[in-house]
Amino acid sequence: MSFGMLSTPVGTLGVTGEGGAITRVEWVRDAREQDVDALVADALAQLEAYFAGERHRFDVPFDLGAQSEGARAVLMTLHDTVEFGDSITYGDLAARSGTDIPARGIGTIMGANPVPIIVPCHRVLASDGLGGYSGGAPGQGLVTKRALLEFEGALPAPLF
């Protein structure tokens, strides 16, 4: 197992790789010992380029872990079809994925996404607003989601 960290505008990200794939991207509060192999170094470099505005898509191999067939289909549909600067509603993602998972179930799947940013769950919105977000520092999920969407140009920056 390999692990590395990257300071970003939305907090410090920890990236874990195992078995030739990225298995986890998470927000970390405390410094941890890093053991960075080539795969994690590549993922960290791609994330750094993303936050520098130089990369819009990730091509590191990732492993979604234990997921139902429906959840895997939803996450892969999100990864493959919702581009940088775009957004989609929970209901539209459900329909696009070809599953029978209702919009509320899509929200649950987004909350269990093991590789946020790489699989861009921040781009999935409620039909009447931002919806939820479990990423970011504790208690800062929606602030983090809004910051990512503003950074990508999917939401206008607040006037004040």
CATH code, domain with 108: 1.10.10.10
Residue 7: beta bridge partners?
12
Q: Output the pTM of the full model.
A: 0.93
Token look-up 């509320």 returns: 104
Number of separate domains in the chain: 2
Domain span at residue 17 reads 2-51
In angstroms, the CA 70 to CA 145 distance is: 24
Please tell me the number of Cα atoms within 13 Å of 41 on its side-chain side.
Answer: 4
> Is a pLDDT exceeding 70 seen at residue 160?
no
In angstroms, the CA 47 to CA 41 distance is: 10
Query: Does any domain span residue 160?
Result: no
Same domain, 109 and 144: yes
> Is a pLDDT exceeding 80 seen at residue 73?
yes
Label residue 157 by pLDDT band (50, 70, 90): low
**What pLDDT is attached to residue 5?**
97
Nearest to 50 by CA among 17, 20, 85: 85
Which residues belong to the active site?
Answer: 121
